[in-house]
Structure 1
Amino acid sequence: MFSGNEALGFEEYVRLRQDALLRTARRLVPDPVDAQDLLQSAFTQTFVRWDQIADKNLADAYLRRAMINTRTDWWRARKFEEVLTAHVPDTSVQDSTDRYTDRALLLDVLGILTPRQRSIVVLRHWVQLSIEETAQLLGLATGTVKSTLHRALIQLREELERRERDFYAAAGTCPPGRGIARPRQKPLSAAA
């Protein structure tokens, strides 16, 4: 079992790193409660193996890997079932500030990605890992990380553009700075 010093070391680690790791978990799963559960599960897995982690500086990498594996297990185990209700429940009103709206939109759009794509995007762009670090953490080749990231970013851009078009089409307006699209005219030649 663990001695008091090892347990205290883990408690100190959790106290220092839990906020940053919760942000990572929040980006891996769309629901805040699931993100807390995901992080708690990763903490539990890490605590059990805390004495086996020789370099405690690598504990974040171990925890991120545990979160990704757990999230993948959840994704594989999900069950789809349709629930019929007599009425559609009211939806909650989100904070109207741009910061929260943009964040909610981005987290929602991340939901279109596969778990692997989402993991790569989160590790590369939020956690700020290099391509090589991301590949090593996920056990992939760097070329796989690059191509998957490239495709994921294209999907995200296309989804955001589609949502923008739908928004302005529903409002009956044009996006700011774009005006009405007009066909290009051929330039007049000097010979004419």
Structure 2
Amino acid sequence: MAHGEVLEFEEYVRARQDALLRSARRLVPDPTDAQDLLQTALVRTYHRWDGIADKRLADAYLRRVMINTRTEWWRSRRLEEIPTEQLPERRVEDATAQHADRALLIEALKKLAPKQRSVVVLRHWEQMSTEETAAALGMSAGTVKSTLHRALARLRQELESHDREGHGEEREERERCAA
């Protein structure tokens, strides 16, 4: 890579690193993994930087690299998972309702398939259009719409299920206090 292109890449990373890290954090739940994901994607993009003709599309290219990398990681890790009968207790990092809602949404997002999660993140968090999402993920606009529809239905189902469980626990607590 020519010296001018190296400087151009460094400038791009400095200008976009915060937004790109936010994207990575939405793709993987652990902040450390998100940083690793971004660094891996940046290294891969650096080696291909001179091949990106329109640098205005660099964000889309880098997001695609992050999604592909995350998928590679997921495929390699899924064999390491050991099913258990008892789920670990959930923890809420912050007591405020907004942070609790965000944590609940992220937990629900984890239950989506990687393709569905990618579509939801790009359409709703990154606020990309259907066409931009389709281009970034290499799928048709119709596939984006149907995948988004199924993903949002699954998220609603997960959140409603959580609400029913929460209200049941509250009722049991009131009954115990009344007794």
Q: Give the TM-score normalised by structure 1.
A: 0.81
More helix by share: 2
Find the residue that maps to 1:59 and give its secondary structure. Answer: helix
Distance 2:73 2:106 in 1: 18
Q: Which residue of 2 aligns with 1:65?
A: 64
1:80 and 2:80 equivalent? Answer: yes
Trace 1:97-136 onto structure 2 (pairs within 5 A): 97-136=96-135
1:67 offset after TM fit, Å?
Answer: 0.4
Find the residue that maps to 1:96 and give its secondary structure. Answer: coil
1:113 offset after TM fit, Å?
Answer: 0.3
Find the residue that maps to 2:80 and give its secondary structure. Answer: coil
2:109–2:155: 8 Å Cα contact kept in structure 1?
yes
CA offsets 1:78-97 (integer angstroms, 9 cap, x no match): 1234499xxxx998762212
Distance 2:170 2:91 in 1: 22
1:134 offset after TM fit, Å?
Answer: 0.9
CA offsets 1:107-156 (integer angstroms, 9 cap, x no match): 11100100000000001111111111111211112111111100100000
Aligned residues: 168
Q: Which residue of 2 aligns with 1:183?
A: none
Q: Which runs of 5+ in 1 are unaligned?
A: 174-192
1:23 offset after TM fit, Å?
Answer: 0.8
Range with bigger deviation, 134-143 or 160-169: 134-143
Query: What letter corresponds to residue 45 of structure 1 in structure 2?
Result: R
Q: Which residue of 1 aligns with 2:26?
A: 27
Q: Give the TM-score normalised by structure 2.
A: 0.87
1:7 and 2:13 equivalent? Answer: no
Over the residues paired in the alignment, what is the CA RMSD in angstroms? 2.1
Range with bigger deviation, 58-67 or 75-84: 75-84
Query: What letter corresponds to residue 55 of structure 1 in structure 2?
Result: D
Distance 1:90 1:26 in 2: 22
Q: Which residue of 2 aligns with 1:16?
A: 15
Distance 2:64 2:91 in 1: 33
Query: What letter corresponds to residue 112 of structure 2 in structure 1?
Result: L
